[in-house]
């Protein structure tokens, strides 16, 4: 039975003729006969309430019908819930959903019925989050199977998807329409963080008084990280070739062959030395570039925007002058981004000025350095890297531990204040990449059957799912965004929303 026609219709209850017999009495008669039957009960109830036996059996039939109807409604809800879990949470194709629902012995398992429900429920939840306010937009596009662009805007702090839109062609107009939909729901950007996509940048130019923050990860870390990977592979190849030349040289028998292989071995040694020196020089410059992206310096002060720019410019010049490698494309791209690249440091400076009024100035630099340490630690994936980094910051950890022992309540209050304030300094749209990693398995398993309505339901699921680990553990994106705790599970929310819609 279709959710649109049955999901929660209120059953028409007992028709009242005898005003002297209350509704409660009628329910009691029907309930006893259905669930506590015994020989002679019908006659006994007829005599007790001075009614006919047909009247008694009529109440029995109506109560049975009522509970059968209620059971059917519950089955319908179970059907919808399982469909949402299979299609959205599991990312199964429509045909697989049909197979799984059939295996559960549920009614309404046809492909047509499934498509109808997905479309209806997806339209119901919409493609814009149900909230009003102002946040930073981390915006980027994700490509589905068949190169279908999906525009996504995320709140970097809560990780809530603000809007998700599939479009036929990526263009500046597509982004303008995407942001206009948010504006119409009274969701406005403080600023926009994104990559160097032409359509995205062109659309931003149409917005007034909204700053644009280029993604620092894509701008520098990822761009030059690919160069480092290439140099590492080159050095590894040179080392392998050197070992091979050495083996051939040592196995040579005649003096003539030995002399020739010695020359080859020496050439391989020279090539390895050159590759390792190039990698070493590049790594130092690459590391210095990445250090300029950190809002907080090692001494706990906020990095100056002008200083960061000048350091990046100096590193780019050194790369051009000293490295025997073609980096013209990468260097040109970074130079084009420099005017906007460090916009987030202006926000960091404002945050510092506010914190100065609330935290002791002798303690604040340590808290800022501690925040930077925790941020970098969370970004490291390998345990050995975490251990090595923690060891390098042991002095800071010991200072903060001592301060915590001396003033435990004050420490927790100041830490919470500083960490919350600095979390608002957004310099990357990496949260969209996290959303991409969540959505990608769903898209891949769906065999290209991803409609706008499916995307709407995926957005609703993500926003209402409760994190099981990490700093957001125990909370959902929508709770972090709105400040309201999620009480019911997401599938039940959608079913309740459908009930409310039908009732209206």
The answer to whether the beta carbons of residues 108 and 162 sit under 8 Å apart is: no
| Per-residue confidence (pLDDT) for residue 11, from 0 to 100 | 40
- Between 1 and 381, name the one with better pLDDT: 381
Whether the predicted pLDDT of 363 surpasses 70:
yes
Query: pLDDT tens for residues 429-443?
Result: 888 888 887 777 777
Whether the predicted pLDDT of 414 surpasses 90:
yes
Confidence of residue 17 (pLDDT cuts 50, 70, 90): low
Region 83-93 average pLDDT:
85
Whether the predicted pLDDT of 58 surpasses 50:
yes
| Per-residue confidence (pLDDT) for residue 433, from 0 to 100 | 80
| Per-residue confidence (pLDDT) for residue 35, from 0 to 100 | 67
Nearest alpha carbon to residue 149 among 124, 177, 121, 130? 177
Quote the CA–CA distance of 23 and 20 in Å, as a whole number.
Answer: 10
Identify the weakest region by mean pLDDT among 64-78, 363-377, 391-405, 415-429: 64-78
Fold of 126-215+428-503: Nucleotidyltransferase; domain 5 (3.30.420)
Backbone angles phi and psi of 188, in degrees to 5: -120, 150
Whether the predicted pLDDT of 1 surpasses 60:
no
Beta carbons within 8 Å of 292's beta carbon, 6+ residues apart: 303, 308, 311, 312, 315
Query: pLDDT tens for residues 290-323?
Result: 999 999 999 999 999 999 999 999 999 999 999 9
Query: pLDDT tens for residues 272-295?
Result: 999 999 999 999 999 999 999 999
Task: Assign 320 to helix, strand or coil.
Answer: helix
| Per-residue confidence (pLDDT) for residue 9, from 0 to 100 | 39
Whether the predicted pLDDT of 503 surpasses 80:
no
Region 170-195 average pLDDT:
93
Quote the CA–CA distance of 479 and 315 in Å, as a whole number.
Answer: 43
Identify the weakest region by mean pLDDT among 12-21, 39-48, 409-418: 12-21
Beta carbons within 8 Å of 500's beta carbon, 6+ residues apart: none
Whether the predicted pLDDT of 337 surpasses 50:
yes
- Between 55 and 463, name the one with better pLDDT: 463
Identify the weakest region by mean pLDDT among 61-75, 129-143, 360-374: 61-75
Token look-up 């040694």 returns 269
| Per-residue confidence (pLDDT) for residue 471, from 0 to 100 | 78
Confidence of residue 445 (pLDDT cuts 50, 70, 90): low
| Per-residue confidence (pLDDT) for residue 100, from 0 to 100 | 87
User: Which sequence spans correspond to the domains of the chain?
Assistant: 3-123, 126-215+428-503, 220-342, 347-427
User: How large a percentage of the chain has pLDDT more than 70?
Assistant: 91
Confidence of residue 8 (pLDDT cuts 50, 70, 90): very low
Average pLDDT, the chain: 87
| Per-residue confidence (pLDDT) for residue 20, from 0 to 100 | 75
Residues 226-264: b if buried by 16+ CB within 10 A, e if exposed? ebeeebeebbeebeebbeebbebbeebeeeeebeebeeb
Whether the predicted pLDDT of 411 surpasses 80:
yes
């Amino acid at each position: 039975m279709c959710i649109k026609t049955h999901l929660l219709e209120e059953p028409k209850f007992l028709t009242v003729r005898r005003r002297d017999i209350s509704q409660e009495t009628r329910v009691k008669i029907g309930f006893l006969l259905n669930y506590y039957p015994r020989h002679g009960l019908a006659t006994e109830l007829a005599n007790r309430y001075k009614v006919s036996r047909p009247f008694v059996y009529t109440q029995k039939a109506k109560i049975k019908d009522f509970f059968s109807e209620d059971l059917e409604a519950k089955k319908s809800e179970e059907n919808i819930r399982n469909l949402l879990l299979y299609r959205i949470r599991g990312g199964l194709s429509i045909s697989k959903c049909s197979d799984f629902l059939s295996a559960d012995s549920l009614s309404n398992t046809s492909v047509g019925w499934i498509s109808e429900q997905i479309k209806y429920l997806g339209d119901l939840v919409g493609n814009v989050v149900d909230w009003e306010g102002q946040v930073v937009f981390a915006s980027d596009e994700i490509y589905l199977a068949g190169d279908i662009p999906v525009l996504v805007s995320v709140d970097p702090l809560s990780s809530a998807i603000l809007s998700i839109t599939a479009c036929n062609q990526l263009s500046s107009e597509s982004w303008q329409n995407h942001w206009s939909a948010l504006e119409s729901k009274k969701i406005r950007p403080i600023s926009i963080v994104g990559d160097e996509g032409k359509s995205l940048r062109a659309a931003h130019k149409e917005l007034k008084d909204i700053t644009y923050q280029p993604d620092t990860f894509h701008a520098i870390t990822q761009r030059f990280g690919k160069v480092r990977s290439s140099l590492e592979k080159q050095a590894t190849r040179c080392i392998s070739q050197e070992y091979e030349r050495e083996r051939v040289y040592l196995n040579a028998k005649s003096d003539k062959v030995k002399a020739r292989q010695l020359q080859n071995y020496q050439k391989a040694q020279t090539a390895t030395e050159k590759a390792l020196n190039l990698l070493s020089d590049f790594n130092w410059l690459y590391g210095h570039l990445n250090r300029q992206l950190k809002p907080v310096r090692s001494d706990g002060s906020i990095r100056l925007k002008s200083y960061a720019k000048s350091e990046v410019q100096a590193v780019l010049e050194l790369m051009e002058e000293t490295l025997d490698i073609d980096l013209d494309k990468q260097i040109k791209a970074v130079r084009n981004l420099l005017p906007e690249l460090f916009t987030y440091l202006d926000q960091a400076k404002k945050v510092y000025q506010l914190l100065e009024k609330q935290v002791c100035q002798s303690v604040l630099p340590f808290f800022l350095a501690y925040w930077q340490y925790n941020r970098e630690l969370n970004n490291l994936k390998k345990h050995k890297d975490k251990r090595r980094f923690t060891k390098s910051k042991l002095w800071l950890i010991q200072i903060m531990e001592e301060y915590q022992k001396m003033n435990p309540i004050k420490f927790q209050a100041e830490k919470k204040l500083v960490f919350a304030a600095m979390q608002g300094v957004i310099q990357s749209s990496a949260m969209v990449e996290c959303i991409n990693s969540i959505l990608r398995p769903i898209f891949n398993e769906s065999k290209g059957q991803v409609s706008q309505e499916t995307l709407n339901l995926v957005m609703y699921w993500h926003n209402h799912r409760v994190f099981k680990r990490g700093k957001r553990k125990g909370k959902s994106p929508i709770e972090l965004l709105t400040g309201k705790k999620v009480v019911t599970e997401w599938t039940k929310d959608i079913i309740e929303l459908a009930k409310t819609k039908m009732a209206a």
